[in-house]
Amino acid sequence: MEKEIKRFKELIERCDRVLVFTGAGISTGSGIPDFRGPDGVWKKQEPVSYSEFMESEAKKIEYWRYKAETFETFKAARPNEAHRALVRLEKLGKLSALVTQNTDNLHRLAGTSNEKLIELHGTGLCAECVECYEWSHMAVAVGKFLVTGKPPKCACGGILKPAVVMFGEAMPQAELGLARKAAANCDLVLVIGSTLSVEPAASVPLSAHAEGKPYVIINRGLTAHDSAALIKIDGDAAEILPRIF
């Protein structure tokens, strides 16, 4: 690992437009569970898909029950050293964009600028009406569910869902477009804490690699793109990143 860290330090010194792409692995040190990893939550229980949520009252209740059970832990999470290291990268003037699959708001809490942050899968701190698309505070929606035991509703009468991309739901094209533009304009792509197995999100860093940009991956365990990486560091980002930035 020491050899790879030294190579990465030398590489980062020569680059000025770093695209960072983060997944669940950067936030596990903050108490946020890994949902899609090898030992993730979705390996132990079936997630509710978007179509199931939209078509079934029972699935709506199942989904909201899970959100209610986990929301306090989610809300209490705070950034760790990996999140803060990426803020330092931005202050060095080297961060072109930070694209995240995470919905935990920890990059923003750490201090990453809104203009640099692209949240591909939405935010778990808000709820969204499936009819009028208005957003509201997740805490209020969870509170309604806990009182009534029924899926919370918007003022317009529409059902609320967490403002995240569910399984089987289309990715927001605006955010995906911004991410791909950032990939085209970067001079290095750094992936942190992602197995790179979820599409179309994983296509973002790979598109930068396809254009010849150096590709660095920091992750515990294997990823789908290991063979493409110029440098792969297997370890905890909260321990590794502070040594680099």
Give the catalytic positions in this structure. Answer: 121
Q: In what helix (H) or strand (E) does residue 118 lie, and over which residues does it extend?
A: strand 117-119
* Both tokens assigned to 28: 């596990």
The type of residue at 211 is: E
* Both tokens assigned to 36: 């899609």
Measuring CA to CA, how many Å separate 49 from each of 46, 103, 136, 175, 199?
Answer: 9, 17, 22, 21, 16
Please say whether the beta carbons of 24 and 34 come within 8 A. yes
Q: Give the single-character DSSP code of 105.
A: -
